[in-house]
Amino acid sequence: MSSNLFRLDHRVVAVIGAGSGIGEAVARGAAVHGAHVACLDVAAAPAAATADRIRTAGGGADSAPVDIVDGAAVDAVFSDLITRLGRLDAVVCTPAINVRKKILDYTDEEFDRVVRVNLKGTFNVVRAAGRVMLPLGAGSIVVFSSIRAQVVEPGQSVYAMTKAGVVQLVRTAAAEFGPAGVRVNAIGPGVVDTPLTAPIKTRPDWYDAYANKTVFKRWASAEEMVGPTLFLISDAASYVTGTILFVDGGWLAADGRFTPPGL
C-alpha cells in the first residue's frame, strides 16, 4: 500500500470558487499536498490573490476568471488548462447562491437566479470536466451539495431543491463517466463559517441555533472542508464515486430536539 495516498504531487487541480471561503481553503490545501492549482472564480482579483498566496508559500498556482453559468466559458478554461499544462486531474466546484424566502413570496427572477447558478452552473462544470477527462481516462470531479439535500427549514425551498438535484447529477455522471475512469462525488457541508454566511452572525439566536444542532455545538470553519475534499480527489478515494460525503458535525445523525431524562 502506498504511503502517499493523500498526496497530489504533479497533479493539476482546478478549484472554482477559489477567491474566498471554502474554495480558497481547498485551493490552498491542494497546493500544500503538492498539486498545481488553477484558482478559478467569477471574480478575477480574489482568484489571483489566492494564487499569489499559494506561490508565496512555495506552491504552484495560476488563476483565471470563469462564470459557471456560461457553459462555453467553462469549456474554454478547462481546455486552456489541458493545452498549457497537459493534464487536468481534478475539478472542485464550490459556488452556490441562496435566496431565503417562503415559497409564496418567491419571484420568478429569484427562482431562475438560484437554479441558474446552483444547478445549471454545476451541470456546466461537470459536463466540461467530463469532456476533457474522459479522453484522458482518469480524473476526479467534486461538487458541493449540502445537508439541505436531505433536510430543510422554512425559506429553503429552491436552494434545497437545487442541492438535491446536484446529488442526482453526481450519481448520473458517476454512472456515465465511470467506465472511462473518471470519478464524480459531492461534499455535503453543514453550517460553515464563510463570508457567505457572515450575515447570520448578526443574529446570535440564529447563529447559536445552527451551532446547537450539531453534536459539536459549533459551526465548521472553511478549513474543515479541505480534508474531505482532498480525500475525494486523491488516490485514497480511488473506489469512491457517485456518493455524497456529509461534513456536517453530526447534524444529520442526531435529532437534537430532546435528551431524555437521566442521560
Residue 120 has pLDDT above 80, yes or no: yes
C-alpha to C-alpha distance for 107 and 104, rounded to whole angstroms: 8
C-alpha to C-alpha distance for 133 and 131, rounded to whole angstroms: 6
Residue 151 has pLDDT above 70, yes or no: yes
C-alpha to C-alpha distance for 87 and 131, rounded to whole angstroms: 13
pLDDT in tens, 193-204: 987 788 888 899
Residue 258 has pLDDT above 70, yes or no: no
13: its cell numbers: 487541480
Residues forming a β-bridge with 62? 38
36: its cell numbers: 498545481
- E strands, 66-191, are 90-93, 139-144, 182-189
Cβ burial of 77 (10 Å; 0-12, 13-18, 19+) is: buried
CB 191 within 8 A of CB 214: yes
Q: Please report which confidence band the pLDDT of residue 186 belongs to, taking 50, 70 and 90 as the band edges.
A: very high
C-alpha to C-alpha distance for 143 and 149, rounded to whole angstroms: 13
Residue 252 has pLDDT above 90, yes or no: yes
Q: Please report which confidence band the pLDDT of residue 1 belongs to, taking 50, 70 and 90 as the band edges.
A: low
Q: Please report which confidence band the pLDDT of residue 240 belongs to, taking 50, 70 and 90 as the band edges.
A: very high
C-alpha to C-alpha distance for 62 and 197, rounded to whole angstroms: 27
49: its cell numbers: 490573490
- E strands, the chain, are 12-16, 36-41, 60-65, 90-93, 139-144, 182-189, 192-193, 220-221, 244-247
Residue 259 has pLDDT above 80, yes or no: no
Q: Please report which confidence band the pLDDT of residue 261 belongs to, taking 50, 70 and 90 as the band edges.
A: confident
**What is the C-alpha radius of gyration for the chain, rounded to an integer number of angstroms?**
18
C-alpha to C-alpha distance for 208 and 20, rounded to whole angstroms: 24
Q: Please report which confidence band the pLDDT of residue 262 belongs to, taking 50, 70 and 90 as the band edges.
A: confident
Question: Catalytic residue numbers?
Answer: 159
147: its cell numbers: 445537508
Q: List CB contacts of 221: < 8 A, sequence separation 6 or more.
A: 25, 192, 193
C-alpha to C-alpha distance for 53 and 206, rounded to whole angstroms: 34
C-alpha to C-alpha distance for 229 and 78, rounded to whole angstroms: 20
Residue 7 has pLDDT above 80, yes or no: yes
Q: Residue 143's pLDDT is what?
A: 98
Q: Please report which confidence band the pLDDT of residue 57 belongs to, taking 50, 70 and 90 as the band edges.
A: very high
Residue 141 has pLDDT above 70, yes or no: yes
